[in-house]
Amino acid sequence: METNSGKGSIRIADEVVSIIAGLAATEIEGVAGMSGGIAGGIAEMLGRKNLSKGVKVQVGEKEVAVDLYIIVNYGVRIPEVAWKVQENVKKAIENMTGLSVVEVNIHVQGVNFGQPGKEEDSKAK
């Protein structure tokens, strides 16, 4: 995206929009993380360093469309989590970039069941 303010041009890289979307998505309770896609039938969960992974953006001159590939925590209501992610991502991108978000598509790639034994270990300490 590039705009001309009269004083010069402003360019926002697609990667920046991807990072904003990834951060906004992972802020929502119930989202375990972003998915790197389906590899061998198993969704790969990515850490916070890879926030732009699992996010595809199509940026036009004034509009953006976002596809998010997420992993949710077991026991959450998936439609509720997806709606909250859509709202948060839309708000974050529009506030930070001035672009109009035309769609936020959520692709749930997996369910995080947690890691057995971790809670017991932390309680024992």
Per-domain residue ranges of the chain: 2-124
Give me the count of residues in the chain.
125
Burial class, 79, CB count within 10 angstroms (exposed 0-12 / middle 13-18 / buried 19+): exposed
CATH class (in words) of the domain with range 2-124: alpha beta
- DSSP β-bridge partners for residue 104: 66
Instruction: Look at residue 6 and tell me whether its pLDDT is greater than 70.
Output: yes
Question: If you ran DSSP here, which 8-state letter would residue 76 be given?
Answer: S
Res. 118 pLDDT band, cuts 50 70 90: very low
What are the structure tokens assigned to 84, written together?
């909250």
Count of beta carbons in the 10 Å neighbourhood of residue 8: 7
User: Is 89 within 8 Å of 51 (Cβ atoms)?
Assistant: no
CB neighbour list of residue 13: distance below 8 Å, 6 or more residues apart: none
**Segment holding 16, helix H or strand E:** helix 14-26
pLDDT digits (tens, 9 = 90+) for 42-100: 455 555 456 678 899 999 889 999 999 999 999 999 999 999 999 999 999 999 999 99
Looking at every residue in the chain, the average pLDDT score rounds to 83
Per the listing, tokens 């909250």 go with 84
Say how far apart CA 90 and CA 73 lie, in whole Å: 22
